[in-house]
Amino acid sequence: MAGCSIVDPNNMIGRQLGEATPLPTEFVPSPPPATLRAEDRRRAFDFVWRTINDRYYDAKLNGVDWNAIARRYQPLALAAADDDAFWDTLDRMAGELKDAHTRVESPRRVALRAREESVTLGFTFVPTEGKLAIASVNPDSDAWWAGVRPGMTLVKIGAEPAEVAYEKVKSETRLDSTERSRHSRALRRLITGEPGTSESFTFERADGTRFDARLTRRRVVTRAAESHRVLPSGYGYIRFNEWTFSATVRAIDGIDSLKDTPGLVIDLRGNPGGSMHAVNLMLARFFPSRTELGRVVTRDGKPIALFMGTFQMIKLKQVVPGAPDAYKGSVVILVNSGSASGSELFAGAMQAAGRAEVMGQPSCGCLLGFLGYARIPGGAELAYSEVGFVLGNGKRIEGEGVIPDRVVPLTLPDLQMNRDRALEEAQAHLATMKPWDK
C-alpha cells in the first residue's frame, strides 16, 4: 500500500503520523548484520538520495544542488570505514539541506528510540559568558553522584581544554537549521554513545575549586512527562517535555484545572516538539472562536491527503475551531534553544496571534514537519521534511527561531544559585498584562 501513489501519494500508510506506540522490548526488530555489503550500501544511499530528491517539501531543495551532493557523498559513503561511519555519512549528506528534521538515524539509534531510551553521561551544558556551563544533571547518572551540579563549568574533556574539544566536535557535526540546533547535535555527540563507555572530565565549582571525574554512559528512559500547578503567586504553571498526545491531553486537563487563575505560564523550555495535531489540540484551548493561525507549505501546493484527496490529513490553512470554554487569562510562554518544532509552532502561533507573549531565549529555529520515518534498506530510518509552516503574520520560524518578546538571558550566576529568572520575570510580567478579550 505504501507504494500506491493514488491511495497514498505521500507514503503515509505504514509510517508514523504524530505519536507512535512504542514496540515492547521483546518485539523490537533485531539489528541488521554487523557489516553491510557494498551493494547494501549502494541501495541505502540511493534510497536516501532519491527519497529526498522526490519528496522533500521544497522542490528546489533549499537551493542545494542535490546532484552535486550525490557526486560528492556517494564515494565517501561507499568507502566508509565501518557501518557507523556509513550511516553518519548519509546523515551528513542530509545535513547539506540545513534542516534539523531531515536526518538519517542508524539502526542502533532506531532501536533506542523504539524502547524510549537514550544512552547518556547524564549532564548537559551550554556556552555562556565564554564558558561551558553545566545546565542540567540527571539525578540517576554518574555525573550526579560524582558531584556535578548546574552552574559548574566544564574545564577539560579528556586531556583537552573543554572549549577546544567542544569546538572540534561541533566543526565535525553535520550542518543544521541554526547554530543553536548544531550545538544540540554536538552536545549529543559528546554526551551520548555506547552503554558502558566512559569519558574523563574536569569540572570547576563556583568557588574556583576543581575536581576530575570519569563518567560512564548509561541507559535512561525518555518518556513524556507533564506537570501543572498553581504557583504561590496565584498564577498557573504548566510544563511538559514532548508534544505526544498523552502528554498534551494531560496538559489540556491542566489548563482546565487552572481556568480560574488570572494568568498562565506555559513552560516549553527543552521541549523538542512532536505531533502537529497535538499542538493544534492545545491551541484550540486558548481561542473561544474559530481562528486562522497560518498555513502550511507542501511540495505540490496541495493538502496532505489520502484516497485521492478525500481525506485531508493536513490542510493548507491552519485553523483552530476554538472552544467556548477556552482559557481567557493572560499567557506567557517560556522558550529556550531546546524548544523546537511543535513547541515553536505553538509559541510562534500564539505570539503571532497576539494571544501570548514569549519570554526566555530564542528557540531552536527548527520548524518543519515530517510525517514519519521511512525504513532504509539496511535497518536505518530516514526522516525528511514534507511540510513547511508560515505563521499568521507571514513569518517563518525555520532557520530563525521564535524570538522572545522579552529576552531573559541564561547567566552563570543564576545557574549557580539555581535561580529561574525567566519564571520569575514571567510572573511579574503577567501582573501587567490584560486578559484576552477577543
State the pLDDT at residue 33: 52
Residues 36 and 148 in one domain: no
Q: What is the pLDDT of residues 379-414, one digit of tens each?
A: 999 999 999 999 999 999 999 999 999 999 999 999
CB contact at 8 A, 269 and 339: yes
Q: Is 160 inside any structural domain?
A: yes
Residues 273 and 168 in one domain: no
Residues 205 and 249 in one domain: no
pTM, whole model, 2 decimals?
Answer: 0.89
Domain count, the chain: 3
Q: Is 16 inside any structural domain?
A: no
CA distance linking residue 134 with residue 213, whole number of Å: 14
Boundaries of domain holding 215: 118-221
End-of-domain residue from the set 81, 114, 147:
114
End-of-domain residue from the set 63, 98, 114:
114
Angle between helices 276-283 and 245-257 (to 10 degrees): 10
Burial grade of 261 (CB within 10 A; 0-12, 13-18, 19 or more) = buried
Which residues lie below 8 Å from residue 32, measured CB to CB, with a gap of 6+? 107, 378, 379
Residues 370 and 242 in one domain: yes
Q: Is 19 inside any structural domain?
A: no
Angle between helices 66-78 and 38-55 (to 10 degrees): 160
Q: Is 6 inside any structural domain?
A: no
CA distance linking residue 198 with residue 388, whole number of Å: 40
Residues 82 and 162 in one domain: no
Residues 54 and 153 in one domain: no
CATH number of residue 185's parent domain:
2.30.42.10
CATH number of residue 103's parent domain:
3.30.750
- Give the largest CA-CA distance in the chain: 67
Q: Which residues does residue 240 pair with via DSSP β-bridges, in sequence order? A: 226
CB contact at 8 A, 368 and 399: no
Q: Which long-range contacts (CB under 8 A, 24 or more apart) does 306-314 make?
A: 306/7, 306/8, 306/12, 306/13, 307/7, 308/6, 308/7, 313/12, 313/17, 313/371, 314/276, 314/369, 314/387
Residues 235 and 258 in one domain: yes
CA distance linking residue 435 with residue 438, whole number of Å: 9
Q: Which residues does residue 120 pair with via DSSP β-bridges, in sequence order? A: 192, 218
Q: Is 285 inside any structural domain?
A: yes
Q: Is 333 inside any structural domain?
A: yes
State the pLDDT at residue 246: 93
Residues 199 and 303 in one domain: no
Residues 394 and 413 in one domain: yes
State the pLDDT at residue 348: 97
CATH number of residue 351's parent domain:
3.90.226.10
What phi and psi, each to the nearest 5 degrees, are found at residue 326? -60, 150
Strands 226-230 and 218-221: unpaired
Q: Is 17 inside any structural domain?
A: no
State the pLDDT at residue 9: 43
Residues 69 and 96 in one domain: yes
Residues 56 and 175 in one domain: no
Residues 278 and 352 in one domain: yes
Residues of the chain with pLDDT under 50: 1-30
State the pLDDT at residue 12: 45
State the pLDDT at residue 50: 97
State the pLDDT at residue 310: 57
End-of-domain residue from the set 114, 142, 171:
114
The amino acid present at 204, given as its one-letter code, is E
Q: Is 5 inside any structural domain?
A: no
